[in-house]
Amino acid sequence: MATKKTIAIIGATSRIGAAIAKMLAKNNYRLLLMSRQTDQLDIIAEQIKKRDSNLEIEKIYCSTEACWEADVIILAEPNISTKEIVEKIKPVATGKIVISLVKFFNDGIDPVPDMKELLPYSKFIDVFNLADDPGFAAPVIDEEMLDAFIAGNDGIESSIMKN
Amino acid sequence: MFDLLFQHIVKKASLTPNELEFLKTVFVPKKLRKRQYLLQEGEVSKYMAFVNKGCLRAYTIDETGREHIVLFAIEEWWIGDMYSYLSGEPSTYNIEALEDSELLLLDRNGQEKILQHIPAFEKFQRIILENNYIATHRRINNMMTKTAEEKYLDFSSRYPQIVQRVPQHMIASYLGITPETLSRIRKQIAENK
């Protein structure tokens, strides 16, 4: 029996962070949802727990703490804060899988191009395209959006499973 | 975060400051909450863990469902299933945090990297293994030849911090005696004082 992996989602209140959290909640992971927007975080955590109260979902307000406990780190913060966050979590991200979704905040243009260099001792995974679906820019993430998201997103799942 | 590990290493082998810095690029910092698992039976042990803070136990479960504690680990100790780690075979151990803990994890690749870069690390490893051998041999000998009371006295004089931090029934499990026997022994010791 494999020990449950702990996945930290940094920026869990962003559209893409919340979407990823909801997707991952369907599988057997312990999720640490990190955001400084406490009200939004409460809402998202409630939404996820409502589906299945057995899920291990926790709200964390400090990115360092979240990454320290995590086995896998998902960066879903919009571009401006990402570089600061990366500097902050660097000491506790050594040897861990780091998945960056930062590209999706910026129409595919990587705002922090040297991210891999900022985290040289982490196993860095860049996600290039989720679903090749311009509809992904839709303002609302609902059930249908999530399905399209998952269909194009096996890459994230399999990287997490493989490692 | 690395102070205790560095102190622990330089007590046994001389590493330069640069070499110590290199270790920071290899060890994985991992926080575990109380009751979380580092390893479960059936998994291959990927890591050996250095305990920076906290307390953990490694135990096996027999066919009747009873737990047998193989070892405890507190600050500055290592824990892991060395057999599974070296052989790549599934572990028979479960390793659980008894307190919120901070660990520094080392995997095989990391270990190889360190050995390539830092020749003195080999000496450190050798001393750790020697100490491990002595402790293991002592434990086997105690288990086979000592009375319950002698086992407890040996354990509590050697590792008083563990006796303070770990529930009594777990100490009994580790020593291979029943909790009732341990209770009786401790009472006798207190009365004899």
- Indicate yes or no: CB of B29 within 8 angstroms of CB of A91: yes
Q: What are phi and psi of B78, to 5 degrees?
A: -110, 150
Chain B nearest CA to A109, separation (Å) = 29
Residue B53 placed within a domain: yes
B30 vs A contacts (CB less than 8 Å)? 68-69, 71
Cα gap A65→A57, rounded to integer Å: 15
Task: Give chain B as a 3 state SS string.
Answer: CCHHHHHHHHCCCCCCHHHHHHHCCCCEEEEECCCCEEECCCCECCEEEEEEECCEEEEEECCCCCEEEEEEECCCCEECCHHHHHHCCECCCEEEECCCEEEEEEEHHHHHHHHHHCCHHHHHHHHHHHHHHHHHHHHHHHHHHCCHHHHHHHHHHHCHHHHHHCCHHHHHHHHCCCHHHHHHHHHHHHHHC
A91 vs B contacts (CB less than 8 Å)? 1, 24, 29
Domain that holds residue B97: 3-118
Q: What is the mean pLDDT of residues B1-19?
A: 95
> Which carries the bigger pLDDT value, residue B31 or residue A99?
B31
Q: What is the mean pLDDT of residues A145-151?
A: 38
Q: What is the mean pLDDT of residues B44-68?
A: 96
Residue B65 placed within a domain: yes
A95 vs B contacts (CB less than 8 Å)? 26-28, 105, 107, 110
Residue B177 placed within a domain: no
Q: For the domain with range A6-162, which CATH number is right: 3.40.50.720, 3.40.50.300, 3.50.50.60, 2.160.20.80?
A: 3.40.50.720
Annotated domain spans of chain A: 6-162
Residue B133 placed within a domain: no
Cα gap B83→B103, rounded to integer Å: 20
Residue B77 placed within a domain: yes
**Residue B41 Cα distances to B62, B96, B125, B131, B178, angstroms:** 11, 11, 26, 26, 24
**Number of other residues whose CB lies within 10 A of the CB of residue B11:** 10
Q: What is the pLDDT of residue A129?
A: 54
Residue B163 placed within a domain: no
Residue with tokens 């194009």: A152
Are the C-beta atoms of B2 and B24 separated by less than 8 Å?
Answer: yes
CB < 8 Å from A in window 81-110 of B: 102, 105, 107, 110
pLDDT in tens, B117-145: 999 999 999 999 999 999 999 999 999 99
pLDDT in tens, B94-120: 999 999 999 999 999 999 999 999 999
Question: Does the CB of B56 have a partner CB in chain A at under 8 Å?
Answer: no
Q: What are phi and psi of A159, to 5 degrees?
A: -65, -40
Q: Taking CA atoms, what residue in B is nearest to A163?
A: B46
pLDDT in tens, A62-73: 999 999 999 999
Residue B38 placed within a domain: yes
Q: How many domains does chain B fold into?
A: 1
CA-nearest of A153, A116, A110 to A20 is A153
pLDDT in tens, B12-39: 999 999 999 999 999 999 999 999 999 9
Question: Does the CB of B27 have a partner CB in chain A at under 8 Å?
Answer: yes
Residue B7, domain CATH: 2.60.120.10
Chain A nearest CA to B25, separation (Å) = 6
Torsion sign (Cα): A17, A20, A22, A27: negative
